[in-house]
């Protein structure tokens, strides 16, 4: 049984699901109809816009979010668990009400849906129409609508799965007790974006680290859940850390599992890695080719720790989305703990971890001590020496400085106001310039600072000895992809920077590539791997034999009676609660009709249908399934299953059906 902190228990007792103090009618019924969705909005993951009227009979969860908000990202895995456990009764809909202008563009939102594997409908509410109709005033917020179409819950903040589980289970039991027909258990038809193939060996790379001393480049291939090591001179792939499967395991480079790794720091042959979705700090021993965990237990923490509090057992603590790491000249590892809006320090020699900057409240408070400062989702780090640690404070759209020698936090670029909504794309003096959700910061020995101004899709600088920002490269706007002179180059949400030997390396996240700027020539290029074949993920090697016993004999169905003419062959898969189709490799259903190949289709959903024409004379079908599936939240445990069917069908005018169903129960091996 999971152990909860006192804070978590209080949350569980005081929020909307406190059934012990409310009757079922009070918990699950209401007279307030859920407002209808506004027309004319862009929808993702469905072919047609949804309506509340059309969802009658479903329990609907609306997730109000904006994709730059780390607390909103924390909700996504919780919703995934809900979608798995309550797949028949609950429909989750993401209502994306953008904070930043860049987030409000549908194509950018579509890429985020792909990056974070969001498998439910998402509506782009960039004018806040749905937001206002539901009276929402914070990200994230969830609203729950009962099967009668009534709004029964509106709750701001991160809500743990256990709370949803308790409430939804009770609601389903309540309405089934009244009348089992009140809940519509038919599947919602989706048109999932999936993770489209960008045509490059990388997938949403988040950070990059260049080491001139060893002539190595380290790339966080974030959505491939691995670290790629490249020769800086030849651009040859030297090694890969991680198999590419999501998970939280150590061991050899080939066995290790990560979940959306981001920032890295190098100390000799030790590579520190911020493993964001595992909420952990990992260490890769480059000489031994082994991965271990230094801090974090793999689960997300639910509360912040006060400034300076020692964590006696770093491996036992639940952290919250560490986004970047940076070593200082004393060998201490600084951590951008985005999820608690703080910076941490890890001391390797003493195995000591503690919050070092920020009280944990999300704000942009400067001119105060390290302890009293307030940060807003720090996501990038650069240590300049002499106790000066620069950090990209993304939600305040500012570059800020933690001065450990003078116990002071200040701002060096972006808004100087204590505001999280003062952003833009303006160069100039401090106090006038503006950034938009900057994620990366790097520096040169001469004091020049380089900024990944992420949502402006630009690279900016603060020249040595100056305080004003200038645009170094990128046309800005909605982003694009173009090499050439820096003034004409285009980027798409660059997230990380690293400088070595006069070359600035850039993780150009939404373009799925590493870009370079030759600072002397002023030219932007794209890094091309000398051996890109080394980066192809062999997904089949990640799988084990599935849980159903499969022998050489096909499954023979009783003769099927169908109507003459157009019909369908439908594959219907049912999974145990914690299993799902593996998105890393295409599962396939091959079908033959009367001995001739008919079709070979990709199986990406639980229900897959293939049109069939049933001839008057009857006939036969042969179907062969190759299914790759894995555990929800632990994609390192992946399986493969095969099944074959032989079907004989007969047609008759009196036949009521025109569909043949192949049902398969999927479970993992014992």
Residue at token pair 């569980």: 12
Res. 6 pLDDT band, cuts 50 70 90:
very low
Burial pattern 2-23, b for ≥16 Cβ within 10 A else e, equals eeeeeebeebbeeebbeeeeee
Q: Token pair for residue 645?
A: 């069917």
- Residue pair 263/653 in contact (Cβ under 8 Å)? The answer is no
The pLDDT tens digits of the residues spanning 221-258 come to: 999 999 999 999 999 999 999 999 889 999 999 999 99
The reported pLDDT for the residue numbered 556 is: 85
Q: Comparing 183 with 640, which gets the higher pLDDT?
A: 183
Q: Token pair for residue 566?
A: 């157009």
The reported pLDDT for the residue numbered 557 is: 83
Q: φ, ψ for residue 499 (rounded to 5)?
A: -115, 135
Res. 579 pLDDT band, cuts 50 70 90:
confident
Beta bridge partners of residue 253, listed in sequence order: none
The string of DSSP letters for 212-265 reads: TTTTEEEEEEGGGTEEEEEETTT--EEEEES-SSB--B-EETTT-BBSSEEEEE
**Percent of the chain at pLDDT exceeding 70:** 92
The pLDDT tens digits of the residues spanning 274-293 come to: 999 999 999 999 999 999 99
* Arithmetic mean of pLDDT, 197-206: 82
The reported pLDDT for the residue numbered 585 is: 67
The pLDDT tens digits of the residues spanning 57-66 come to: 999 999 999 9
Chain centre to alpha carbon of residue 462: 31
Residues in the chain: 670
The reported pLDDT for the residue numbered 476 is: 92
Among the listed ranges 5-9, 165-169, 529-533, 663-667, which one has the minimum average pLDDT value?
5-9
Residue 422 pLDDT > 60, yes or no? yes
Residue 545 pLDDT > 70, yes or no? no
Residue 278 gets the label, from left (phi > 0), alpha (psi -120 to 50) or beta, of: alpha
* Arithmetic mean of pLDDT, 538-562: 67
The reported pLDDT for the residue numbered 539 is: 54
Side-chain-side CA neighbours of 597 within 13 Å: the count stands at 5
The string of DSSP letters for 151-193 reads: EEEEEES---HHHHHHHHHHHHHHHHHH-GGGS--SPPP----
- Residue pair 640/603 in contact (Cβ under 8 Å)? The answer is no
Query: Which residue, 632, 541, 523, is CA-closest to 78?
Result: 632
Give the pairing type, strands 587-593 and 619-631. antiparallel
Residues 300 and 80: their CA atoms lie apart, in Å, by 15
- Residue pair 571/603 in contact (Cβ under 8 Å)? The answer is yes
The pLDDT tens digits of the residues spanning 583-633 come to: 766 788 999 998 888 988 989 888 898 999 988 888 999 999 988 887 765
The pLDDT tens digits of the residues spanning 31-57 come to: 999 999 999 999 999 999 999 999 999
Residue 515: exposure state from Cβ atoms within 10 A (0-12, 13-18, ≥19):
buried
Residue 654 pLDDT > 60, yes or no? yes
The reported pLDDT for the residue numbered 538 is: 64
* Arithmetic mean of pLDDT, 152-171: 93
């Amino acid at each position: 049984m999971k152990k909860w902190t006192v804070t978590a228990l209080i949350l569980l007792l005081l929020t909307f699901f406190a059934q012990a103090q409310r009757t079922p009618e009070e918990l699950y019924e209401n007279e307030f109809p859920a407002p209808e969705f506004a027309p004319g909005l862009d929808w993702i993951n469905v072919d047609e816009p949804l309506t509340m009227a059309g969802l009658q009979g479903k329990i609907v969860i609306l997730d109000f979010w904006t994709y730059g908000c780390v607390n909103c990202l924390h909700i996504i895995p919780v919703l995934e668990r809900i979608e798995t456990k309550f797949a028949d009764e609950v429909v989750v809909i993401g209502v994306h009400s953008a904070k930043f202008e860049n987030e409000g563009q549908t194509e950018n939102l579509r890429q985020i849906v792909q990056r974070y594997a969001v498998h439910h409908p998402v509506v782009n509410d960039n004018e806040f129409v749905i937001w206002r109709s539901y009276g929402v005033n914070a990200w994230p917020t969830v609203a729950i609508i009962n099967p009668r179409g009534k709004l029964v819950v509106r709750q701001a903040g991160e809500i743990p799965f256990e709370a949803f589980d308790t409430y939804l289970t009770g609601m389903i039991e309540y309405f089934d007790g009244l009348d089992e027909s009140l809940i519509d258990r038919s599947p919602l038809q989706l048109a999932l974006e999936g993770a489209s193939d960008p045509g490059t060996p990388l997938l949403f790379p988040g950070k990059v680290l260049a080491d001139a001393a060893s002539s190595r480049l380290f790339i966080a291939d974030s959505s491939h859940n691995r670290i790629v090591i490249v020769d800086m001179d030849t651009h040859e792939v030297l090694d890969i850390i991680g198999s590419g499967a999501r998970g939280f395991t150590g061991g050899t480079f080939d066995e290790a599992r990560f979940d959306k790794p981001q920032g890295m720091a190098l100390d000799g042959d030790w590579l520190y890695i911020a493993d964001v979705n595992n909420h952990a700090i990992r260490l890769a021993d480059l000489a031994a080719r082994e991965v271990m965990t230094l801090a974090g237990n793999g689960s997300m923490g639910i509360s912040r720790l006060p400034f300076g509090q020692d964590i006696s057992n770093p491996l036992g603590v639940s952290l919250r989305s560490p986004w970047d790491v940076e070593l200082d000249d004393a060998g201490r590892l600084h951590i951008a703990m985005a999820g608690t809006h703080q910076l941490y320090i890890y001391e390797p020699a003493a195995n000591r971890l503690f919050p070092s900057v920020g009280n944990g409240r999300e704000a942009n408070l400067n001119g105060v001590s390290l302890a009293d400062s307030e940060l807003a989702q720090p996501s990038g780090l650069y240590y300049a020496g002499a106790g000066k640690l620069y950090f990209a404070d993304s939600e305040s759209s500012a570059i800020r400085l933690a001065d450990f020698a003078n116990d002071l936090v200040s701002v060096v670029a972006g808004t100087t106001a204590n505001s999280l909504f003062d952003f833009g794309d303006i160069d100039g003096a401090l106090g006038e310039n503006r950034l938009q959700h900057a994620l990366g910061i790097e520096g040169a020995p001469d004091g020049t600072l380089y900024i990944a101004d992420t949502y402006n899709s630009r690279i900016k600088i603060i020249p040595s000895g100056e305080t004003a920002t200038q645009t170094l490269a990128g046309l800005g706007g909605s982003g694009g992809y173009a090499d050439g002179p820096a003034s004409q180059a285009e980027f798409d949400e660059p997230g990380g920077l690293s400088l070595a030997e006069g070359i600035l390396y850039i993780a150009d996240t939404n373009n799925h590539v590493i870009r370079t700027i030759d600072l002397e020539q002023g030219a932007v290029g794209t890094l091309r791997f000398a051996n890109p074949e080394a980066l192809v993920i062999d997904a089949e090697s990640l799988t084990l034999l599935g849980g159903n016993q499969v022998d050489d004999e096909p499954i023979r169905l009783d003769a099927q009676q169908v109507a003459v003419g157009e019909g369908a062959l439908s594959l219907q898969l049912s999974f145990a609660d914690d299993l799902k189709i593996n998105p890393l490799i295409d599962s396939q259903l091959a079908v033959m009709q009367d001995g001739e190949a008919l079709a070979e289709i990709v199986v990406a959903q639980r229900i897959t249908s293939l049109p069939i024409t049933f001839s008057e004379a009857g006939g036969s079908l042969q179907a062969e399934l190759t299914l790759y599936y894995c555990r929800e939240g632990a994609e390192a445990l992946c399986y493969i299953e095969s099944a074959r069917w032989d079907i004989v069908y007969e047609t008759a005018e009196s036949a009521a059906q025109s569909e043949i169903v192949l049902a398969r129960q999927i479970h993992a091996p014992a």
